[in-house]
Structure 1
Amino acid sequence: MLKTAMLLPIAVIAGAIALSSVFVVDERERALVLQFGQVKQVKSDPGLGFKLPFIQDVVTYDDRILSLPTRPLEVTPLDDRRLVVDAFARWRIVDLVDFREAVGPGGENVAKSRLDSIVNAAIREVLGSVPSTAVLSADRTPLMNRIRDLARREARSLGIDVIDVRLTRTDLPEQNLAATFARMRAEREREAADERARGGEAAQRVRAQADRSVVELTSEARKEAEIIRGEADAEANRIYADAYGRDPDFFAFTRALQFYAQSMKPNSSSLVTQPDSVYFDYERFLESLGTAQK
């Protein structure tokens, strides 16, 4: 009984020592085994691990991709238009030893604080090298990639890999919104006036071209009409001349009828003559026409 009573405390102590020498690493974590603050072992695989009891300690770190929202930051692009920028970064611990040496016992909280400063500095540097139109545009992927690459280089010494940086909001400060909107409105009105002026100029050119085309077409049509009319008159004169050569009396008779028809039109001028005028004597009228023709 005495021997059993002595072995029981020894077994309890041995069990406690055995338990304190074993630790478990979750699949979402990685662990460091420290001895007096110095790294002695890196446990990257999930499962059981062993350490020296009472001498070595185990510190675990998250092995997942972590998110870091940055505080609102005011930046000044190349055109001196101040902008308020919000962003977030996604990062991961890739080197536990460097990470532990860089942040010390503070762990992830210290890492987030230092990474926030690194990301903000990268945002200021990149956005300060481009105009505000590039920052406010819909496609800001090249700018975000530049910020990510710059932050990644700076965070490498912390044992951290910056996976991505995204700009979530890029707005003007409240005091600048009214002035900016007024300037944008004035610019758009000026552009609209320029477009209207260019449209009016183009319309004037089209109208001038159309008017010139109308004049040219009308002149050409009149010229062709005069040519056709002249050819028709020549043909008519030829026919009249041929008819006169064949029967002079019939030709004289036709001309007399044409003269009577033209002089006796309705609403024509009045004709005042003597009763014995040649106008009423057909034979004498024909003789006068023949004499006039000769």
Structure 2
Amino acid sequence: MSKAYILLGVLFGAAVVGLSSIYIVEEREKALVLQFGQIKAVKEAPGLSFKMPFIQNVVRYDDRIQALDTQPLEVTPLDDRRLVVDAFARWRISDVVRFRQAVGVGGIAQAETRMERILNAQLREVLGAVTSNAILSENRVELMNNIRDAAIVDARALGVEVIDVRIKRVELPAQNLAATFERMEAERQREAADERARGQEAAQRVRAQADRTAVELVSEAQREAEIIRGQADAERNGIYAEAYGRDQEFFNFYRSLSAYEQALQGQTSTMVMSPDSEFFDYFRSETGASGN
């Protein structure tokens, strides 16, 4: 019975030793085999591997692309117009040995802290060399590429590969927004006043031109009317002269009848004049002829 217990103990110990010497590396991982803190082996290919039991241990690192969102950072461009910048980066572990040496037991958390310092430094350096208009414009891809390229060089010391860097948000600090809005409003009011002044000036030119055109048209119409009126008067006088030359007595009689027609209109026409006035010559002649 004691031999059976001993055999079971030996088998159990062998199983424990065997299991402790085996480890599996997945496709999304990189692993380091450490012995008393020293790196003894690097396992980047997935599969089953072995190590010395008890005295060696395995440290695993995520081989997938990591995301890093930086805290809002205040930068000062060339025009001293302070801006708050919010950026993010995509990175992955490229050299697991150097990564372990750089961050120690801190792992991913320590790497993110140091990566954020690198990004903040590059954000200040690159964005501080241009104006705020270049940062706020839509064509800022070149600035982000410059930040990424500089971060790639600095991150190599961590055993990290920076894949991409992007600026998510750029805005003014809260304490500067009110002053900026007031300045923008003043600029828009000035532009509106300039537009109104130019519009009024153009309107005055149009009115002056219209008035001048109206005066010219009225003057031309009056001139033509006077010419036509003069021609009509001349033609009328010619007709009168011709009629007078043909029969003077009939002409005088016709003119007198026209005068009577114009003078004796309405139901209560009243005329006060001398009885021997020439106006009634034809009345008298008609009266004498009829005997009344």
Partner residue of 1:251?
Answer: 251
What corresponds to 1:187 in structure 2?
187
Alignment of 1:40 with 2:41, yes or no, is: yes
**SS at structure 2 position matched to 1:195:** helix
1:115 Cα deviation from its structure 2 partner: 0.9
The number of residues matched between the two structures is 279
Aligned 1:27-66 pairs, distance under 5 A: 27-34=27-34, 37-38=38-39, 40-45=41-46, 47-54=47-54, 56-66=56-66
SS of the aligned residue for 2:80 comes to coil
| 1:146 positional shift | 4.5
Q: Distance in 2 between matches of 1:187 and 1:48?
A: 70
Partner SS for 1:281: helix
Post-superposition offset of 1:60? 1.4
2:127 aligned partner: 127
Q: TM-score, normalised by structure 1?
A: 0.73
Flag the 1:37–1:68 CA change in 2: closer, same or farther, 3 A. Answer: same
- Do the aligned residues in 1 keep the contact of 2:253 with 2:282 (CA within 8 Å)? no
Deviates more, 1:61-70 or 1:226-235: 226-235
Question: Following the alignment from structure 1 to structure 2, what is the Cα–Cα distance between the partners of residues 32 and 213?
Answer: 95
Contact 2:74 2:84 in 1 (8 A): yes
Find out whether 1:167 has 2:159 as its counterpart: no
Identify if the C-alpha distance between structure 1 residues 113 and 238 changes in structure 2 by more than 3 Å, giving closer, same or farther. same
Amino acid at match of 1:68: L
- CA separation in 1, counterparts of 2:40 and 2:162? 21
* Residue type of the alignment partner of 2:21: S
AA at the equivalent of 2:278: V
Give the distance between the partners of 1:229 and 1:148, measured in 2 at CA.
Answer: 91
> Is it true that 1:68 corresponds to 2:71 in the alignment?
no
TM, length-normalised to structure 2: 0.73
Q: Distance in 1 between matches of 2:279 and 2:188?
A: 85
Which runs of no fewer than 5 residues in structure 1 stay unpaired? 285-294
Amino acid in the other structure paired with 2:66:
L
Give the letter for the 1:161 counterpart. V
Relative to structure 1, is the Cα distance of residues 20 and 230 closer, same or farther in structure 2, using a 3 angstrom cutoff?
farther
Q: Distance in 2 between matches of 1:245 and 1:57?
A: 147
Contact 1:135 1:170 in 2 (8 A): no
Deviates more, 1:71-80 or 1:55-64: 55-64
The DSSP-based 3-state class of the residue aligned with 1:24 is strand
Separation (CA, whole Å) in 1 of partners of 2:88 and 2:250: 113
Change (3 A) 1:127 1:204: farther
Does the CA contact (< 8 Å) of 2:152 and 2:162 recur in 1? yes
Whether the aligned pair in 2 keeps the contact of 1:89 and 1:164 (CA below 8 Å) is yes
- Relative to structure 1, the CA distance from residue 39 to residue 190 in structure 2 (aligned partners, 3 Å threshold; closer, same or farther) is farther
Q: In the alignment, what sits opposite 1:204?
A: 204
3-state SS of paired residue (1:186): helix
Give the structure 2 partner of residue 25 of structure 1: 25
Query: Would the alpha carbon gap of residues 225 and 130 (structure 1) be closer, same or farther in structure 2, given more than 3 Å must change?
Result: farther
| SS across alignment from 1:80 | coil
Most deviating of 179-188 and 197-206: 179-188
Q: Report if aligned partners of 1:43, 1:49 keep a CA contact under 8 Å in 2.
A: no
SS across alignment from 1:81: coil
Are the aligned partners of 1:31 and 1:44 in contact in 2 as well (CA < 8 Å)?
A: no
Structure 2 residue runs of 5 or longer lacking an equivalent are: 285-292
Q: 1:209 to 1:34 in 2, by over 3 A?
A: farther
State how 1:1-294 maps to structure 2 within 5 Å.
7-34=7-34, 37-38=38-39, 40-45=41-46, 47-54=47-54, 56-135=56-135, 139=138, 142=141, 143-158=143-158, 159-168=160-169, 170-174=171-175, 176-244=176-244, 246-259=246-259, 274-282=274-282
Alpha-carbon shift at residue 27 of structure 1 (Å): 4.6
**Mapped contact 1:88–1:168 kept (Cα < 8 A):** no
